[in-house]
Structure 1
Amino acid sequence: MLLFSEVTNPLELWENHWVDLTDDLQNRVRRLTGDVNLSLRECDLQNLGLVEIENILNQNGRSLREFDPMPLPSSREAEIVSNRFIREELQYDSTFELQSFQSLHGGLNDDQLKVFNTIVEAYDSRQRGLFFVYGSGGTGKTYLWKSLIAKFRAENKIVLAVASSGIAALLLPGGRTAHSRFKIPLNPDEFSCCSINLITELAKLIQEASLIIWDEAPMISRYAFETVDRTFRNILKSTVHCSGSRLFGGKLFVLGGDFRQILPVVTKGSREQMVAASLPNSTIWDHCRVLYLTRNMRLTAQVIPDQTRQELRDFAEWIKLIGEGKIQGSSFSEGREPNWIQIPERFLIRNGDRSLHMLIESTYPDFTNKYQDIGYLQERAILAPKHDDVDEINNIMLSMLPGEMRIYNSADKLCPT
């Protein structure tokens, strides 16, 4: 009609009939993306319908611009609708995220609030840049991450929340491991890049991201960060507000962790080699702004008995002294580095054959009643140096669960049918 007829009011025609004109678009997008459960918003359907009309007009040398005041389509919005990665990141309920943010923001302490405001101001001013939030265990890094994530998602912005380990990633809303999200090679070096093609959906997701949070950063080799930096620069070199000449392409990148904890693992490497592989020995670190969290939030919890609070304070102080190199180490053979630390008796759980049971009971109090509480399980973990110890602890905890035990065997061959 727009091409071959005189339409006196094209906007009224569109507003009255856009539902009929777009009734097949949702199924077409479902087939295109392979997502049979995809449900498009009205604004997305309207935009896709306008894109279709604009394409038909363009083929005949015309455009919707000639039919004022008809709305013009957004090719960017149409591309976002067809990108499953972007759709996943935009499916968060902004109302729920806003409520979460308001609750979390009210609980930030002075240190956390200062870091939070610094990062938000960097985004609002379009300065972006690289930050490192330095804080030991218990200073509230995860709480800070959740506050930032909720704020950005409440505003329908994309946050890529990653961590160096799977356990840390589970604590982040929508978290993934960094290797999984950014396709980092297993053994990166000074020349490697991530396995992300410029025309892929993942590359488009990175372009649309407003904030990248990377927790437990000190665990990863500096070459991994340099690899991600090269990849981001390549992906973002021609986008608005970003640049291939800026660190990480100009994205707002926030790292976090504690260098007094686990450094990158170098197979059969010395302490010097592990330190050399860490992030501060990369040129990236020269451009990193370090922010600090110093207040131990675990000691301020109101539900902790005074005796337990003092025990936690003493243990946290002892751990801090180890990280600062102020506790003398020991060596069990001549010429070896003094890497062994003797644990003070007051921090040990000794009860003969029931020592593991005591450890489990102190870490997982009331386990039989709370084993289905996801939040309860996320806040606790028992670390062990050997797989045999892990198996023994797991067997004890499984035996504590109510109900009949069942064994499910995994398939080791394809079903012939």
Structure 2
Amino acid sequence: MTPSVYTLQLHLPGEQVVSFHKNTNLSNLVDSTDFTKTMLTEFFAMNKRSKQARKLKCLKRRKVIGQVVTVRPNEGKRYFLRLLLSHVHAPKSFDHLLTVDGQLASSYQEAVFRLGLLQSDTYIEDALDEATAFHMPCSLRSLFAMLLIFCTPSNPFKLWEKYEADLSSDLERTSSITGCDSNYIRRYVLQDINRSLEQMGKHISDYRLVPDSLLFTEHERLTKEIESEQSVRCTEDDLMTISWLNTGQQATYNAIMSELFLPDGKSFFVDGPGGTGKTFLYRALLATLRTHGHIALAVASSGVAASILLGGRTVHSRFKIPLDASATKACQISKQSSTAKLIVVAKLILWDESSMAKRDTIEAFDLLLRDIMDSDMPFGGKVVGFGGDFRQTLPVIQNATRDIQVQSNFVSSALWSSLQKVSLKENM
């Protein structure tokens, strides 16, 4: 009962949580409220002015904070901030937490490391040593990204220095042919690691492996994204599919192609049982656009389905849709990112096996496109080709007709009515 214990509002500088009623006038709120004062900043202020607070034993405060504030290691800066709060006696500011032996550290992680609060990275190095013996460099880069996130190494820069040669050995071998210099190779490797990190909600700048000047700029990242899509080469068989379409496939092909260059295109749902040639149709659409220099994004609900499409990726990987979209329908893509700009220039988005996706996933995708395209039209006015077979979907509503079941499970009725449905027959 005494002393009273409250949950500490742990936050980084300028990132405190602000709560207000939904009907509050935001302009008046900003003018009348001092958001700089939080429980944490007042804790610092108390340590500055109160001698009694500074006499509190560090062990007691660590026990209280350790019980009340739970932060996972993969939360990065907040995790290191918590460690410092648990061990630094009577901190008076954020800068006080960063100061070790009279010197200001560049990050909370560096301060924690200099104080010796983290364990050794030997087990991480052992894992990388073993992996370098049989992993290809591209797989090693994915492993490196996972170790950064889930193992929270105490000194990521040291790991990068030690294993940079192994992480980039495939590019080093081809540098004499391509003429790439060492800086370009380093940037490419870092960007490849960053792609894996972004799929798990992190960014390479969080780990300070190299100065930010060595990373690709947003313009360069957009250029790389577009070049990556344009470098997808269609095979001769893909090009021949256009002339091999049957009657039903040709009608669907023409309907979709006619909408691609309109200002506000329609979206389609290609319905057909397995074996009616949906994938064959997708190949024809992708080949047509890519051979003319346009961007077409191919995604699928599962990794197996995505591997069948040329240049295909899972929808969660491409659009950063959360795995549990029912909790939050906010995709982790900002409007200023290179991925958002890639979506804007894309002429067509093909989503295979969309009938297997949850309704929340489709609606999160719809909200993402509306936000990026600044449009209230379904899917932001982009031409999206959904495909699938609801005959393979298990029923989830008892005593319901097929149409009601499909609408309830797939998307809301408003979105469903916006899709132009085209069917492929079994005998075609």
Q: TM-score range by the shorter chain?
A: 0.3 to 0.5
Instruction: Give TM-score scaled by structure 1 length.
Output: 0.47
